[in-house]
Amino acid sequence: MKKILIVDDEKDIRFILEEILTERKYSVISVGTIKEAEEYIHKNSFDLALLDVLLDEKSRDGLYLLNLIKNKNRDLPVIMMSGHANIQIAVNSVKDGAFEFLEKPFNQERLLNFIKRGIEYSDLINAKKDLQENIFESFDFIGESKEILKIKEIIQKISISDGRILIEGPSGSGKELLAREIHRISNRNKNNFVILDSSRININNFDENIFGILKNGEVVKGYLEKADKGTLFIDNVNDLPLDVQNKILRVITDQRFKRLNDTIDITVNFRLIVSTSINLQKEVSQGNFREDLFHRLNVINLNLPALIDRLSDIPLLIEYFFTIFIGNSYNYKKYIKNLDFFYSYNWPGNVRELRNLVERVAILGQDNMEIINNIIYNTFNPKLNIENNKSLSTDLTLKEARDNFEKEYLMKQLKKNDGNVSKTAKSVGMDRTALHRKLSSLSIKH
């Protein structure tokens, strides 16, 4: 049964709304003052809110409550109501995140339609989150490049330990996926893998979310308790405010905490993995991150390379993502015959960007070669940075231009073949010994 919060300072309006909604099998909670609403919002959960704009206080109104709700749950649908409606109030409401604006006296059918659509919207958002989470959980940690094989070897060694792990790497390189892989092969894999995304943290209710709370005699668990005996993954740990960093450090040190409104010490035992897409040691030197917390977290350091530094994994990743989105029967080589664009692109979004491209081809292209080619061309063509190719400079001599071209070409071919000279020689049609001499003459390390 969906729970709806009604906030209106007119008793008759509250009564009418309660009658209409309870008759439609909704669970209804109605309050008449800002203070009552504020207390209820802080302590309880609900599925939709109906808020009057003008309430019992002059300094605070329904828009204040709207922002309070959105700070706690930005996806929760809120319908604003007003008997003194004007365009500006409606615009401000929607700008602040209201789902709809309802003018009083309201039409019952219009009211119920708004509520129905609001609930459907909320259910759709939650279902999408669950779907994305389940899809992401199903992904494997794919790669056979030297860098990835080295990481795989390390995580096999550390899987039986509980050492804290710091994963560094650019955005989209697969840090959360690596954390999940570590959890999956660990002794804690039968318990929860809990994600705390620091970039989306809401300071106003951080303590409640991480420590939990005792509400009306009922325990609501926070991230720490949910991760007990499992793994807590703090994503974008560099985004944690300094005061929050101090709280995390205290939990790591003491291995216990108290829920809000509670006096009992809760003891927890979880493995901590954190990630960052920027240099955390540099953040320490600039005073943005606590040095003592950094040293606590940096027990085992894993550095995920950017996709541009593991180009040899691109065919494996493409094949894997096509299998995820379409199935084993799809032979991508039949439709993507030339991977040159894939190897020439800088991949600023890394593996995530490649995954999105494959998904786009899988959904829109399927067996249509023209559509597939258009998708690939439109993705890469504006971004290939051909103008940066030194060999095209008119200021160079012919020999300098040729040497630059050969150097860039051979460096790219080496990356494609994961630094393997024999494979590179075969792919470019050269004798292995001749290629060695050419690489040395161009000062290419191999």
* pLDDT tens profile 152-202: 999 999 988 899 999 999 999 999 999 999 999 999 988 999 999 888 777
Domain boundaries, the chain: 3-130, 160-304, 311-384, 387-441
Closest by CA to 300, choosing from 181, 140, 159, is 159
* Spatial contact of 198 and 237, defined as CB atoms under 8 Å apart: yes
Residue 330: φ, ψ to 5° = -90, 120
Q: ∠ at Cα 60 (58, 61), nearest 5°?
A: 95
d(CA 195, CA 273): 10
* Spatial contact of 366 and 334, defined as CB atoms under 8 Å apart: no
Give the pLDDT confidence score for residue 380 in this predicted structure: 79
* Spatial contact of 115 and 80, defined as CB atoms under 8 Å apart: no
pLDDT of 113 > 80? The answer is yes
pLDDT of 211 > 80? The answer is yes
pLDDT of 237 > 80? The answer is yes
pLDDT of 86 > 70? The answer is no
pLDDT band at 255 (very low <50, low <70, confident <90, very high): confident
- Alpha carbon 187 to chain centroid distance? 26
Closest by CA to 146, choosing from 418, 414, 416, 415, is 418
Domain 160-304 = CATH 3.40.50.300: yes
Give the pLDDT confidence score for residue 278 in this predicted structure: 93
- Alpha carbon 189 to chain centroid distance? 21
d(CA 256, CA 225): 10
Look up the CATH architecture of domain 3-130. 3-Layer(aba) Sandwich (3.40)
Strands, sheet with 193-197, edge to edge from the N-terminal-most edge strand: 193-197, 231-235, 271-276, 165-168, 300-303
Residue 195: φ, ψ to 5° = -110, 125
Q: Which of 120-124, 152-156, 321-325, 408-412 has the highest mean pLDDT?
A: 152-156
Determine the average pLDDT of the residues in 123-147: 68
Question: The domain 387-441: what is its CATH number?
Answer: 1.10.10
Residue 167: φ, ψ to 5° = -105, 120
Q: What is the DSSP letter of 363?
A: I
Determine the average pLDDT of the residues in 143-154: 92
Asked whether this chain's domains 3-130 and 387-441 adopt the same fold, the reply is no
Give the pLDDT confidence score for residue 389 in this predicted structure: 45
Q: Where are the beta strands (DSSP E) in 243-347?
A: 256-258, 265-267, 271-276, 300-303
Closest by CA to 79, choosing from 123, 12, 19, 17, is 17
* 179 or 438, higher pLDDT: 179
pLDDT band at 445 (very low <50, low <70, confident <90, very high): confident
* Mean model confidence pLDDT for the chain: 84
* % of the chain surpassing 90 pLDDT: 43
Q: How many other C-beta atoms can be found within 10 angstroms of the C-beta atom of residue 99?
A: 19
pLDDT of 388 > 90? The answer is no
pLDDT of 446 > 70? The answer is no
β-bridge partners, 48: 4
* pLDDT tens profile 355-368: 989 888 887 776 77
Give the pLDDT confidence score for residue 399 in this predicted structure: 67
Q: Which long-range contacts (CB under 8 A, 24 or more apart) does 145-148 make?
A: 145/305, 145/310, 145/312, 145/313, 145/418, 146/418, 146/419, 147/305, 147/309, 147/310, 148/305, 148/310, 148/313
Give the pLDDT confidence score for residue 361 in this predicted structure: 84
Residue 265: φ, ψ to 5° = -75, 130
